[in-house]
Amino acid sequence: MLLIYAEALNEQNGAPNDQAYWAIDKVRSRAKIATLQSIAPSLNQAQFRDSVFQERRKELVFEYQRWFDLSRRGADYYVSTLKAAGKTQAAPRHIHFPTPQRELDLNPKLKQHPDWMNY
């Protein structure tokens, strides 16, 4: 919740404020690592956003949140991040789930997501 709060404050204000730094630093302090306020006290909105996403990556490593974090930043970010990590099969369509075939069979008016046509 603290990381969500830090991210929301950053987005709402257009830049991180003291409360946003407090929220992310609360998580970092629990992990016994240097606070963001002490190592990077004057981040802009984009830099702070990246810091929050990196903190979420570390904090939620076994909670299967990474796909959601990557996909909500857009297809370009998703693909470039995964390809940089050696995942060569990453494609923009992977930020959407395909419509299950069972649902398509049950409802003839339902169509497959355009990114997943012919797959």
Q: What is the Cα–Cα distance from 18 to 37, expressed in whole angstroms?
A: 9
In a shared domain, residues 57 and 2 = yes
CB 91, CB 71: distance < 8 Å: no
Question: Total structural domains in the chain?
Answer: 2
Which one-letter amino acid corresponds to residue 24?
I
Rg, the chain, Cα only: 18
Q: What residue ranges in the chain does DSSP mark as E strands? A: none
In a shared domain, residues 97 and 118 = yes
Q: Residue 81: its pLDDT value, please? A: 94
In a shared domain, residues 28 and 13 = yes
Q: Residue 51: its pLDDT value, please? A: 96
CB 21, CB 36: distance < 8 Å: yes
Give the number of C-alpha atoms closer than 13 A to the C-alpha of residue 98, restricted to the C-beta side.
10
Give pTM, 2 decimals.
0.80
Q: What is the Cα–Cα distance from 64 to 71, expressed in whole angstroms?
A: 13
Range of the domain at 101: 64-119
Q: Which of 63, 81, 98 is the last residue of a domain?
A: 63
In a shared domain, residues 84 and 27 = no
Q: Residue 118: its pLDDT value, please? A: 84
In a shared domain, residues 75 and 108 = yes
In a shared domain, residues 84 and 51 = no
Q: Residue 56: its pLDDT value, please? A: 95
**CATH classification of the domain holding 9:** 1.25.40.900
In a shared domain, residues 72 and 110 = yes
In a shared domain, residues 56 and 71 = no
Q: Residue 12: its pLDDT value, please? A: 96
In a shared domain, residues 88 and 43 = no
Q: What is the Cα–Cα distance from 117 to 97, expressed in whole angstroms?
A: 12
- 46: buried, middle or exposed (CB in 10 Å: 19+, 13-18, 0-12)? exposed
Q: Residue 76: its pLDDT value, please? A: 96
Q: Which residues of the chain have pLDDT under 50?
A: none
Q: What is the Cα–Cα distance from 8 to 2, expressed in whole angstroms?
A: 10
In a shared domain, residues 44 and 10 = yes
